[in-house]
Structure 1
């Protein structure tokens, strides 16, 4: 699971990092000193789990938790026990009071891992019979056969994805990251937080956007380098 730490106290961040690196299932993507500092990162990078302090200058942890994408899980880490009830309102996985006991930390992480696995299983139930050339996608209580080469792009909207084809689109309950993970990377490329495109259908692109038929899709800042590396590697030398 990809995780981040958000805490305004350097010592607290260091202590949580020490606990995180001891758990092989966790991959620490970054450590931030405020909600404002991490908000842009979460908008452009898929994060599975946030270790989130509550009492911070500016936006506090409870307020920030309400803006975090639904697929991102939260474990609160705070010096104050009085916010426990508030944490339930934002569906936090657990609430740890500092100084954090390593055993309680591990228990909270195990709970997050279990819940994350359940979310993945729920997503996979909506995709059946993954083959080289097609997939079956559940939509409106039916499974629709979707030929991979016909997919123009996939758009993520909260807990759903829209599979866009020429003249047809199918909506299914799944997040865009898990959908991308199921598709062949040789053909499908993620170009921003919400879009995965079929490289074979790209008509043109510039420094900021990809054009597929009459659709214009922005290239995200954190995806730009990988995008141009992919498309320029076969460019003939001058």
Structure 2
């Protein structure tokens, strides 16, 4: 696991020391400082990003609850307190956990395990979003299986009655949905409807005329009702 930068904001010295001892048992937790109030921690919070804060609630000056309401959304919080009455507020603020003092190592480890799982899940979600943005894909149902197809590998879609054929350079796939339904699922700017039966990857078009578009190994007709819109789109790409 990647190193997790964390701080303690706790005004009771015994509780602060105990938290520090617990943190020291986890190699991936990097304690950047201990502070007895929110105001005392402001400088380090401005200077560097914190992944996790162990935060008391009853603090001098601004309370932990008030502080948590304005914390950066990427900074996680584990509340540490002697009072159960703030638990509802703590979880409404989407805190990772709410630990009651005195904090045993077992309870602390449980909170860290919970945070680690949440962090791993977030990283997976972010990686998936990044991958999808860089190389978008769709899932289509083909022969009772959901098949993942990267959009940059698709040459064109062809409507054939009540099903849709999807052609890549090396394979073809048959799925039972309309070409209009597929068009609605695709991001704008990547595919062009050239005919009632054909939806073509713009990047795969090699050349075109008023009546046809040429792909690497396939020439497809431009429908009469689509010719004006297709011509405007393709000519605009030439000008750009």
TM-score under structure 1 length normalisation = 0.53
Give the Cα separation in 1 of the matches to 2:135 and 2:31: 33
Q: Name the residue aligned to 2:71.
A: 68
**Which residue of structure 1 lines up, in the alignment, with residue 84 of structure 2?**
81
Root-mean-square deviation (CA), in Å? Answer: 2.2
Work out which of the residue numbers 129, 133, 136 in structure 1 matches 2:134. Answer: 136
Provide the rounded CA distance (Å) in 2 between the counterparts of 1:117 and 1:29. 22
Specify the alignment match of 2:21 in structure 1.
Answer: 18
What is the count of residue pairs matched by the alignment? 136
Which residue number in structure 1 is paired with residue 220 of structure 2?
none
Cα deviation, residue 136, structure 1: 2.1
Residues 143, 108 of structure 1: CA spacing in aligned structure 2 closer, same or farther, 3 A cutoff? Answer: farther
Alpha-carbon contact 1:79-1:97 (below 8 Å) kept? yes
Cα shift at 1:22:
0.6
Higher relative contact order (CA 8 A, sep 6+): 1
* 2:55 alignment counterpart: 52
- Unaligned segments of structure 2, at least 5 residues: 137-149, 153-240
Distance 2:25 2:37 in 1: 24
2: CA distance, partners of 1:51 / 1:17: 10
Structure 1 unmatched ranges of 5 or more: 130-134, 145-238
The CA distance in 2 between the partners of 1:117 and 1:60, in whole Å, is: 30
The CA deviation string for residues 50-104 of structure 1, in whole angstroms up to 9 with x for no partner, is 1000001100000001111111111001111111111011101111111012111
- CA distance in 1: counterparts of 2:8 and 2:44, whole angstroms: 12
Report deviation, 1:25. 2.3
Bigger radius of gyration, 1 or 2? 2
What secondary structure, in the 3-state scheme, does the structure 1 residue paired with 2:31 have? strand
